[in-house]
Amino acid sequence: MARGPSIIGFMNAYGVEQVTGMHVVHDGSRQAPPLVLIHASGGSGGAWQPMIPALAGHHHVVRVDLPGCGRSAPARSYDVPDQAGRVAAVLDSLGLRSVAVAGHSSGGYVATALAEQRPDLVRSLALISSGPSLDALMPQPLLLRALLAPPLGPLLWAARPDAFIRGGIKAMAARPVDVPDDMVAEVRGITYGTFRTVLRRNTAYIIERSVPDRLAGLGVPVLVIFGAADPRWKPSSAHQYDAVPKARVEFLPGVGHVPLLEAPETTSRLLLGFTAAGAGAQSGNPRA
């Protein structure tokens, strides 16, 4: 696949590069239809790893680390539209067109903002555990609130052991999950200030306008996957997406907020069925 001249950085044998200042990982054939994966707050592209073997058999999978997360450098602004603009710059640099985009949790907000800004780029959207509006947010555990609030928050954040990070991820799941060492290391890399800012900006985005309201006028096919036992967002709130034309809502019984780890096979199957139906099956390779 030809790449545009604006790519900045390096490429190695594993399909890893820096593009316009963001860490990008490629999986699957470059000739396959493109599928862009956007992680949740405080995570990284590595969170999608359990789904990659299934997805890469059908797509050119592009995983990005958002600024300040994983292996991407911090940014001046973490506003959701600015995050989406940076993802658009990556896709433009790669020469990709008409891509399927999937976002996990707040990654779904960045995906939605990308579709708002660049309907020419986004052919379809899959939102996984993405809360539709602020009124759908469940009460958060006391420990999490203490971790994020000053004055103890910064001290606890800096001293938190790997077991604490694993416990935090597992607390969002309804099933037992394995949290890889690499994922823990990448979560540890995000700073307290960045994480707090990202959470505030995400909240501002859905307060300004709910996700279903934003999607309603775009006309893009939407798949919503929600764990029926999600402890972060009220599972019933997924029905708010029923108001979006071309939207389909799928519930995963006994699954919490991290289907990527709890039910990767089922989540992959739903996502592949969605893209194979025509929503994202068109190749995004630029024409000669």
- Start-to-end Cα distance in the chain: 10
**Structural domains in the chain?**
16-279 (3.40.50.1820)
Rg of the chain in Å (alpha carbons): 18
DSSP reduced 3-state for 27: strand
Contact 151, 124 (CB under 8 A): no
Contact 197, 105 (CB under 8 A): no
Nearest to residue 84, comparing CAs of 105, 120, 109? 109
Contact 45, 19 (CB under 8 A): no
Question: Could you tell me the pTM of the whole model?
Answer: 0.91
DSSP letters, 133-181, are: SGGGBPPPPHHHHHHHSTTHHHHHHHH--HHHHHHHHHHT-SS-----H
pLDDT tens sequence for the chain (288 residues)? 333 333 333 333 349 999 988 999 999 999 999 999 999 998 999 999 999 999 999 999 999 999 999 999 999 999 999 999 999 999 999 999 999 999 999 999 999 999 999 999 999 999 999 999 999 999 987 767 777 778 878 888 888 889 888 988 998 999 999 998 888 999 999 999 999 999 999 999 999 999 999 999 999 999 999 999 999 999 999 999 999 999 999 999 999 999 999 999 999 999 999 999 864 344 343 322
d(CA 48, CA 55): 10
